[in-house]
Amino acid sequence: MACPLIWHDVDVTSKTSPKTVRGVRAQLRAARRRSPLFGRPGFLIRRLHQLHCALFLEETRGYEITPVQYSLMTALAARGELEQNSLALEIGLELSSVSEVVPRMARRGLITRRRSLEDRRVRLIRLTRKGAALLRSMAVAVQRAHDRTIDHLRPPDREWFLLQLIRLVEANKESGRVPLRLR
């Protein structure tokens, strides 16, 4: 079943009338006249990411945690102890980036690192109690940042938008330099 797109009180589905489709296309043309970049999904996704990061940092000021660090702690809270390589796949981040973030978080006492007993080359990462407490204490502020990112959409549009983002991420999870591990 097609997920409807509500655009200015217009229901756009696979059974959309030609009049509705023309209205959506007219709105897209008008947006592209404001900026030719509005016709480029990559630009819009990157720009929305920039905006969300700014909102995240504003809402979580005082915690001294970046969105990447929060994602890393969230993955560890959900999955338990992980190999550093697996952690990178869980959050869709390059291993080199995870390798830079992990020592800083370990120095703050938010995570622990240890060598695997089975394979001394493997680093195992675990969220500490301090890290778990920080994760819990940040939850409301982080949710505010997420809400603010999409609060200019009507509530049913927010769910539709998230579903479309999920579809795009899942459809392209193997693309790029780093795949994303999904369960």
Q: Domain limits of the chain?
A: 40-171
**80 DSSP 8-state letter:** -
**38 DSSP 8-state letter:** G
All residues at 6 or more sequence positions from 42 whose CB lies less than 8 Å from its CB, including other chains:
none
pLDDT tens digit at each of 183 positions of the chain: 334 444 444 455 555 676 788 888 898 999 999 999 999 999 999 999 999 999 999 999 999 999 999 999 999 999 999 999 999 999 999 999 999 999 999 999 999 999 989 988 899 999 999 999 999 999 999 999 999 999 999 998 999 999 999 999 999 888 878 878 887
CA 33 to chain centre: 29
pTM: 0.82
Please give the order of strands across the beta sheet that includes 82-83. 82-83, 123-127, 111-115
* Domain 40-171, architecture per CATH: Orthogonal Bundle (1.10)
